[in-house]
Amino acid sequence: MIIFKTIARAMLSALCALAFFAGTAGQAAAQSSECVVDQYNNTVCPPAKTLCLQESSSRQVKCSPPDGGVIVDRYGKAQCGVGRCVLDIRGDPFCAKDSGGAAAKGQYGDAVCTGGCAKAQASLCTTLTR
Residue 81 pLDDT greater than 60, yes or no: yes
Say if 27 falls within a structural domain: no
- Indicate whether 19 belongs to any domain: no
Write out the residue range of the structural domain in which residue 93 sits. Answer: 36-127
Q: Is residue 118 part of a domain?
A: yes
**Residue 67: what pLDDT?**
95
pLDDT above 50 (res 75): yes
Weakest-pLDDT range from 47-51, 82-86, 88-92: 47-51
**Is 30 part of any domain?**
no
- Number of H helices and E strands in the chain, helices first, is 1, 12
pLDDT on residue 69: 96
> What pTM value is reported for the model?
0.70
Mention every residue, 6+ apart, whose C-beta is less than 8 A from residue 75. Answer: 57
Q: Determine how many CB atoms are found less than 10 A away from the CB of residue 75.
A: 10
Query: What is the number of domains present in the chain?
Result: 1
Does the residue 12 lie in any domain? no
Q: Is residue 84 part of a domain?
A: yes
Q: What's the average model confidence in pLDDT over 63-73?
A: 95
85 occurs within a structural domain: yes
The per-residue pLDDT for range 8-64, each reduced to its tens digit, is 344 334 433 333 333 333 333 334 567 888 888 888 888 889 998 888 888 889 999
- Those residues with Cβ within 8 angstroms of residue 129's Cβ, 6 or more apart along the chain or in another chain: 38, 44
